[in-house]
Amino acid sequence: MLVARGAPNLFCLHAPFQIDGNFGGCAAIAEMLIQSQELTPDGKPILRLLAALPKTWTTGSAQGLRARGNYTVDLQWRDGKVTDYRITAAQPRPVTIVLNGETKTVPAQRP
């Protein structure tokens, strides 16, 4: 019989893969790039692009980020500002975004 052993904090002790830390790290990075907890007055999510980008990440890109409301976001940035983005949804509809400090409503495209 196999018995799983763990630490008092419920983390597993199997090195090098620590599932809580590894998956949590990915979620934290995704949350830095796009946030969608805030809602419009009618209850729809507001997508904040590059919500908490570290200053050292001056240039980069991300594809396939998922946001509340069943949106998928691809984006690119340079000098800490979004230079290109694409928002898709299974049902095309408008979505409110905060982009480079400006709030606007844009259409989400079909994938």
Q: Does the reported pTM lie above 0.85?
A: no
- State both tokens at 96: 């409110």
**12 pLDDT higher than 80:** no
Q: CATH fold of 19-107, please?
A: Immunoglobulin-like (2.60.40)
**Cα–chain-centroid distance for residue 99?**
14
Instruction: Compute the distance between CA of residue 67 and CA of residue 80 in angstroms, rounded to an integer.
Output: 20
Using one digit for the tens of pLDDT, what is the confidence trace for 66-108? 999 999 999 999 999 999 999 999 999 999 999 999 999 999 9
Domain boundaries of the chain, sorted by first residue: 19-107
How far apart are the two ends of the chain, measured CA to CA in Å? 48
